[in-house]
Structure 1
């Protein structure tokens, strides 16, 4: 996991300052608050900046399995087939039965292109991923940060080989000099 002190975090209230105070009134459930009326957030329709809304897709989901465990391999192949059949609009890559790139165990990748797909697929995966782990990360152009500090895990986190990201950053830095 990336050291959070390496990054800057703008205030979540940036652009929302100077508004009237929020009401303290409880909603019908007696636990949550009544929120002031507002227009629909644009985050329902497109991913927030700096997440890409382009051809790469806004989020990658890497579904991992132990390539040395025949039951894991079988389950991963069955899950991959089901995803391809039930979510044909998503981009689904081949199954890698061996480590590839920063991924140190077998995996396959699914790309999500909009918040609607994210809202449908992630809850589905929570229920249907079985014993497999999944890494969910945005695509912002900072691959190392996207795979670490901005990532979310389902199941047990799987160690990643971050060397390829560090090498790409070094090469980019040298090219800019």
Structure 2
């Protein structure tokens, strides 16, 4: 019974993380409805999104101990060390991109402020480095837990991250206007754009 409850919680918290993140990236639109408090409210939504994402990943660990009784292998057909090597190979470039995105965004990664300006650094090349760096970690965790089920389940995050980026861009267009539209022309969504 605990295995089914865990998967339900894992799925629900994944979707709740998505819901609150979408709400967190709309401060400019929300400001038109409720005023200056919109940015504080969006920061609260961002925190809630992070909490639900953390719970979802903790459920990954619980799944390792309580897998579903379904006809899917509990582990990959190779030794765990091979999965660990694959996880490290995936984690190093992803971690670098994520760290660069967080450092270049500064506190805006978690705290939404009206006075924050557009970013530089890695953001001069791609618009969503944090998403690009963070997303692969669902497979890093799955590989470290050596779980084929979790590896496949993790694909649920692909459309979630994609739509989170789309929602964020809609509000950034409201927030920064023409400046952001020009920025979009010169940078890639997730892959650097060759503007020469």
Tell whether the structures are fold-level matches, with TM greater than 0.5. no
Name the TM-score, length of structure 1 as normaliser: 0.25
Instruction: Report the structure number with the largest CA radius of gyration.
Output: 1
Greater share of strand residues, 1 or 2?
1
Name the TM-score, length of structure 2 as normaliser: 0.23
